[in-house]
Structure 1
Amino acid sequence: MNYKKILALALPSIASFAAMTATGTINLIMVGSLGALAIAIVGVTNIIMYNVWALFSGIGHTVNYLVAQHYGSNNMKRGIKQTGIALYLCVIANAFVILVGLFASEAILSVMGSSADLIREGTSYLMIRFLAMAGTVFTFVLHGFFRGIGDTKTPMVTSIIGNLAMIFFTYALTYGNAGFPEMGLVGAAWAVFIGEFTIFLLSAYVYFIALHKRYGTRTKAKIERADSTLIASESAKLGAEEFSKSMAMFVFTVFVTQLGTNALASNEVALSVMSFGFMPAFAFGTTATILVGQDIGRGDPLSARRMGTETAILGSIFILILGLLEFVFAESIIGLYTNDPEVYELAVQLIQISAFLQLFDALFNFYAGGLRGIGDTSFLLKISLILSWLFFVPLAYVCVNVFHLESIGAWLSLYAFITAIGIAVMIRFYRVDWLAIKLKSESTHESPVNKAKEY
């Protein structure tokens, strides 16, 4: 097993995602002192911002796997050109994000069925988070480039620095510490803005200055039809895939919101804890994209398949260990977030339900990462749309509104969905005809997966 090669890429990614996860956890704990309403506002906003990120995440995912393929085939000149086109696309995306944040934040909270108190207190917080997302969109593309060339340390370092800044300013601006004004929840939002743009600016320095000598990263990208079509179409598919899942989670949150502030706060706390399980899943999924994509670029599809499998095995071990720790220490962990007895008791139950079921979420990430590495983006979009909207959303509605199973029923429906999509993507990975795979950039009109093995 190529465990050293896999871990060399995965561990910095785990540290990068851990920095983001830990920051979210620490910030939620600090903001939690403001009360259940503040926790609920952060929770609802996180779901909204995840949807916004998902909508444009396809740009970064596309850069990630295309650059990995170009790096493997030693054609980085085209990889740089495609990255430049992707950055132009980010400018358009961010104009939309900023306008929506400035003029539609209150309306979005209203559509979600939020209480009057949540809308009143949360509108400014949400608006600032939209502005922060502009930095995140650029960062995700730049980090996708770094990971595509096998550099997972730069995203780690920039993420750690930016998230440390975020923690400090949350402490300083929320409660008026270290000589800063006391701004409450709005201060916490500005802390996120500062942190996200710190990460972006550091990443931009590395890309445009530190890597220019090696790759010519400051070369103006010539917008050609073939590459522009490829970037736009792949970004649209991968973005729609993420967005379909995130919108389903949005609807899921609406169902939970209707159960009351305590249920919503418990849901947010539980999701925050479970994000420690999502962390290695994302990291190993990204590693699968890198290794599979680079081997496809080298013209060695069987090695790519093997690397995807070995990455999934190592990632599963990490997830099972984390699940065990979450199950055993659920009560102690939740105690760090809240002393509200209703929120505490429900959140503990949600954690213990999902501690081991998150393995299926991990399987989705591992094998979806591998499929992105070969450019099998159409399947990922189709399975996401089908299972999100024809299975997950109806099941969540029935559990909450028909059988009245409340939060427990909502989470059971969530993990039924995660299990189904994880297994489906894993099966697809092993049914691909790997010997028939072509580089995505060889044609903007043909799938890189000529066929899948028949059942």
Structure 2
Amino acid sequence: MTRHWGLILRLALPSIISFATITLTGTINLILVGHMGALVIAAVGVSNIIMYNAWALCSGFGLTVNYLVAQNYGAGDMKKGVARTYLALYMCLGLGVLLHLIGWLAPASILRLMGGSPELVETGTDYLEIRFYAMAFATLSFIFHGFFRGVGDTKTPMILSIASNILMVFFTYGLTYGHWGFPELGLPGAAWGIWIGEAVGLLGSAYVFFVRLHKRFATRIRAVIDRAESRLILAESGKLGVQEFAMSLAMFVFTMFVTRLGDEALAANEVALNVMSLGFMPAFAFSATATILVGREVGRGNPLLAKRYQTDTAVLGSLFLLVLGAVEFVFAAQIAGIYTADPAVSELAEKLIRISAFLQLFDGLFNFFAGGMRGLGETSFLVKASFLLSWLVFVPLAYLLTFVWGLDSVGAWISLYTFLTAYGVTVLIRFYRTDWSQVTVKEAG
């Protein structure tokens, strides 16, 4: 088993750093604005859930490019991989326009729909509007990063992520509080900091794709709109987007439930989610690694080796999450104190952090094997499992535990634990029940 760990770590560690940079930036930004009060923390928390849903709508394009390019790279057919990337970029440009329109027209309405108080709506409207504009850049960057990872280059996304996130923190601090000669914009300044970072990240990604990689992969082409390939990209992106959206929309409802428990409960929930997101970095990193290795070996016609890589990736990723969860469980009180000085918020956040500490193992289990399923091109099962478990298990159970049985925030988190456990085990079982003799490269119908 361990003979593959070196390759897995070489691919996964840059991705861990990349995702850790994104997570750390979110944490630093929350800490920077958190001193403005619980209402600001709550507004940022609600906005983060909304933006997760917006990202989910477009994420399928980046995930699809990632696994298709990995398969094409393994098969030695990068001309098709580049053409597919172009098609995904064209389609995502249209979604970017939609995100701008939503940000311009509907941020206050969305916050009211979330059940936010009038004070929260007033505080968060401008912030959410600018976050929608920034998300349009992020979704395009995600497609480029999917291409880079598909060809086994996880260092370039790492470098781009570090650069763009450093800029986010710099401009968030400067524009929020008016330091270093910048105007003092308050909470909207934090959103403009994110916008600047995402814009620079997109420019850097485009430069690498169109300039640096042109000699190796002939990336500057006049892509022909092939109908069969367009249907494939749209169908696969739609399935993976719906998979993510089903989960993110369920989290949207989860947050609406918590919102109705009051601003303090919502602030504590946001702190716990932000801490839990530390576990997302190795989960996403090893998931992306599984997609790369499984997709590459499928392209090379070695499905059983793909299975072996998947198992090794899941074992190694689980060890990372186990250590991280133990640290969070032991130091929950100290971690909560970093985010807020409000005793009520800190006490509840400490309890939620302890509940969620080992939840990351099951979230990781889902991510590891979902990455492998994408590498196989088995996307239909993922969307079905996501939809059914999100809406037949997670949401009803969250309502029952939170309101009917009166467990409040603790009940909401128990439901999240139950959902992710069921999801992780379901995807694991499905992966190992694959008919490996039938595994082939995904082609347009």
Same fold (TM over 0.5): yes
CA distance in 2, matches of 1:330, 1:405: 20
| 1:38-59 deviation per Cα after TM superposition (whole angstroms, max 9, x unaligned) | 1001000000000000011000
C-alpha contact 1:84 1:220 (8 A) present in aligned 2: no
Q: By how many angstroms is 1:357 displaced?
A: 2.3
CA distance in 1, matches of 2:388, 2:19: 28
Structure 1 counterpart of 2:234: 232
Structure 2 counterpart of 1:69: 71
CA distance in 1, matches of 2:111, 2:359: 31
CA distance in 2, matches of 1:79, 1:45: 35
CA distance in 1, matches of 2:274, 2:179: 25
The partner residue of 1:23 within 5, 12, 25 is 25
Structure 1 counterpart of 2:324: 322
| 1:42-97 deviation per Cα after TM superposition (whole angstroms, max 9, x unaligned) | 00000000000001100000000000000000000000000000000011110111
The partner residue of 2:298 within 284, 296, 299 is 296
CA distance in 1, matches of 2:123, 2:271: 19
1:81-96 superposed matches below 5 A: 81-96=83-98
1:343-362 superposed matches below 5 A: 343-362=345-364
The partner residue of 1:202 within 188, 201, 204 is 204
| 1:399-418 deviation per Cα after TM superposition (whole angstroms, max 9, x unaligned) | 11101100000000001000
The partner residue of 2:243 within 241, 245, 256 is 241
Structure 1 counterpart of 2:45: 43
Structure 2 counterpart of 1:4: 6
Q: Aligned pair 1:60/2:62, yes or no? A: yes
Counterpart code for 1:384: S
C-alpha contact 1:40 1:261 (8 A) present in aligned 2: yes
CA distance in 2, matches of 1:376, 1:92: 26
Q: TM-score, normalised by structure 1?
A: 0.97
Q: Aligned pair 1:307/2:315, yes or no? A: no
Q: Aligned pair 1:372/2:387, yes or no? A: no
Structure 2 counterpart of 1:222: 224
Structure 1 counterpart of 2:403: 401
Same amino acid, percent of matched pairs: 61
C-alpha contact 1:158 1:202 (8 A) present in aligned 2: yes
| 1:208-245 deviation per Cα after TM superposition (whole angstroms, max 9, x unaligned) | 11111111111021111111010000000000000000
CA distance in 1, matches of 2:46, 2:160: 27
CA distance in 1, matches of 2:251, 2:142: 21
Q: Aligned pair 1:125/2:127, yes or no? A: yes
Q: Aligned pair 1:411/2:413, yes or no? A: yes
The partner residue of 2:260 within 258, 261, 273 is 258
Runs of 4+ in 1 over 3 A off after TM superposition: none
Equivalent position SS for 2:279: helix
C-alpha contact 1:132 1:192 (8 A) present in aligned 2: yes
| 1:190-211 deviation per Cα after TM superposition (whole angstroms, max 9, x unaligned) | 0010111111111111001111
CA distance in 2, matches of 1:361, 1:188: 29
Structure 2 counterpart of 1:165: 167
CA distance in 2, matches of 1:428, 1:197: 39
Q: CA RMSD in A?
A: 0.6
Counterpart code for 1:302: L
Q: By how many angstroms is 1:280 displaced?
A: 0.3
Q: TM-score, normalised by structure 2?
A: 0.99
CA distance in 2, matches of 1:44, 1:167: 20
Equivalent position SS for 1:113: coil
Equivalent position SS for 1:440: coil
1:438-453 superposed matches below 5 A: 438-441=440-443, 443-444=444-445
Structure 1 counterpart of 2:192: 190
Equivalent position SS for 2:339: coil
Gaps of 5+ in 2: none
Counterpart code for 1:191: G
Structure 2 counterpart of 1:426: 428
CA distance in 1, matches of 2:42, 2:356: 21
Counterpart code for 2:358: F
C-alpha contact 1:66 1:79 (8 A) present in aligned 2: yes
CA distance in 2, matches of 1:104, 1:182: 25
Structure 1 counterpart of 2:280: 278
C-alpha contact 1:113 1:254 (8 A) present in aligned 2: yes
Q: How many residue pairs get matched? A: 443
Structure 2 counterpart of 1:452: none
Gaps of 5+ in 1: 445-455
Structure 2 counterpart of 1:448: none
CA distance in 1, matches of 2:43, 2:200: 24
Q: By how many angstroms is 1:18 displaced?
A: 0.5
CA distance in 2, matches of 1:221, 1:363: 38
Counterpart code for 1:129: R
| 1:164-205 deviation per Cα after TM superposition (whole angstroms, max 9, x unaligned) | 000001110110111111110010010010111111111111
Counterpart code for 2:171: F
| 1:381-430 deviation per Cα after TM superposition (whole angstroms, max 9, x unaligned) | 00001000011000000011101100000000001000000000000010
CA distance in 2, matches of 1:222, 1:80: 11
